[in-house]
Amino acid sequence: MNVYLGIDVGSVSTNIVTIDEQGKVITSLYLRTHGRPIQTVQNGMKLLAKELPENVKIAGVGTTGSARNLTSIIAGGDVVKNEITAHAVAAQYLIPDVRTVIEIGGQDSKLILLENGIITDFAMNTVCAAGTGSFLDQQASRLGIPIEEFGTYALQSSVDVRIAGRCGVFAESDMIHKQQIGCNIEDIIYGLCKALARNFINNLAKGKNIVGPVIFQGGVAANAGLKKAFEEVLELEIHIPEYYNVMGAIGCAILAKEEVMETKKTNFRGFEMSDQKFLTRGYDCNDCPNSCEVIETVMNDEVIACWGDKCGKYQNKAKSKVNN
C-alpha cells in the first residue's frame, strides 16, 4: 500500500502524518520540537517506522512549518509549502465549502479566508503571542491546572469576568488582579478565552468579512472554552476536525500526493535517514561586497544543500553534487 508523508515542523511541535491514496489518515504523531528540529524529525521517523504495517511504502513527502526547507532536505521532500497553503488545503479537504480557517498553534495564529476553493486573504499575528498555545501553557502552569483541563474549567464558568486580552502582559496582570479580588478560577479562565477570541478577531480579522463554514484547527483547538468563545464573538458555528492538531501535516501530505501523481517519483531518503548524521554550518563569503552568510546542510560529511548566497553559486554547486 502506498502512503504519503506530511511533516509540519514548528517552533513548539513537530507533526508527522501519513495518508493513504484516498486521503485517510493512517498514522498521526504530535511531538514537541524542543528547539531541535533535525533530531525531532529523526525520532519521529523511528516512531513512524514502528507504527506502519510492513507492506506500506512511502510514495511521497511534503513538508511545511517554520523548518520546512530544512526538513525537506533531510527527509527528501517532494513538495515544500508554507503553513497558509498547507492548512487551507487540509481544511478544504474536510469541508469543501469552508470559507474561514482559524489556526492557532504554539507561537502563532493565522486567519485564512477562502472563496470558491481559492485563498482570497490571510493574516498572521505579528509581535505578540497572546492567545497562542505557549501563552495558554504559561497561564495553565501558573494556575496549577493541566493544559488539557483548561477548556473544561472554562465551560464551568457561570459569571462573566472581563479580562484584557490585547497584550499577553496585560492579560496576565488582569488575571492576577481578578484572582486577588476573589473571582472564581473558572470565570477567570473563560474570561481569558473570550478576551483571546476578541483579540484574534480585532487584530487578524480587522476589516475582513468572516463567514461560515468556519473551521478551527491547531493545538489550541483542543480548548473547548476557546471554541465556545469564538462562537459567541462570531455568532457562527465553529467546526473542529478530528485531527485538529496535525492539519498542516495533512495538508502537505495531500500536496505531496498530487505532486507525485505528476512526477511519478519521490525523493524520500527512506527511514534510514533517522540514523544519518546531519549538521548545519555557516560561513561568510567574501568573494564580493554582498558578504553573504552561506548556510550548508551536511549529511555524513557531505554537503547536501546550501542557501543564503545571493549569486547562487554555492547552491548550484551543492545541487550539482547531489544530482551526480
pLDDT tens, residue by residue, 215-245: 999 888 888 999 999 999 999 999 999 999 9
Q: Which is more confident, 10 or 256? A: 256
Segment holding 62, helix H or strand E: strand 57-64
146 with 223, same domain: the answer is yes
For residue 319, pLDDT over 80 is answered with no
Q: What is the pLDDT of residue 136?
A: 83
The CA-CA-CA angle for residues 13, 17, 21, to 5°, reads: 160
Q: What gap in Å lies between CA 241 and CA 221, rounded to an integer?
A: 9
115 with 84, same domain: the answer is no
178 with 259, same domain: the answer is no
We report the CATH number of the domain holding residue 54 as 3.30.420.40
Q: What is the pLDDT of residue 75?
A: 93
33-40: average pLDDT: 91
Of 195, 217, 240, which closes a domain?
A: 240
Q: Which residues pair with 123 in a beta bridge?
A: 111
Q: What is the pLDDT of residue 271?
A: 93
Q: Which residues pair with 111 in a beta bridge?
A: 102, 123
Closest CA to 162 of 140, 141, 177: 177
15-21: average pLDDT: 95
Q: What is the pLDDT of residue 215?
A: 96
Domain total of the chain: 3
pLDDT tens, residue by residue, 80-100: 999 999 999 999 999 999 999
| Claim: this prediction has a pTM higher than 0.85 | yes
Cβ–Cβ contacts within 10 Å for residue 225, how many? 25
Q: What gap in Å lies between CA 149 and CA 145, rounded to an integer?
A: 7
193 with 310, same domain: the answer is no
Of 194, 217, 240, which closes a domain?
A: 240
Alpha helices in 104-216 (DSSP H): 133-143, 150-155, 168-180, 185-203
pLDDT tens, residue by residue, 161-214: 888 766 767 777 878 888 888 888 899 889 888 888 888 888 888 888 899 899
299 with 186, same domain: the answer is no
37-47: average pLDDT: 94
Segment holding 146, helix H or strand E: none
pLDDT tens, residue by residue, 117-166: 899 999 987 656 566 777 888 888 888 888 888 889 989 888 888 887 66
For residue 42, pLDDT over 70 is answered with yes
Residue found by looking up cell 497553503 in the block: 85
270 with 282, same domain: the answer is no
Of 225, 240, 255, which closes a domain?
A: 240
142 with 183, same domain: the answer is yes
CB-based contact 251:86 (threshold 8 Å): yes
Structural domain harbouring 70: 2-88+247-275
Phi and psi at 93, nearest 5°, equal -65, -40
216 with 268, same domain: the answer is no
CB-based contact 304:298 (threshold 8 Å): yes
Q: What gap in Å lies between CA 50 and CA 157, rounded to an integer?
A: 43
SS3 81: coil
Q: What is the pLDDT of residue 302?
A: 87
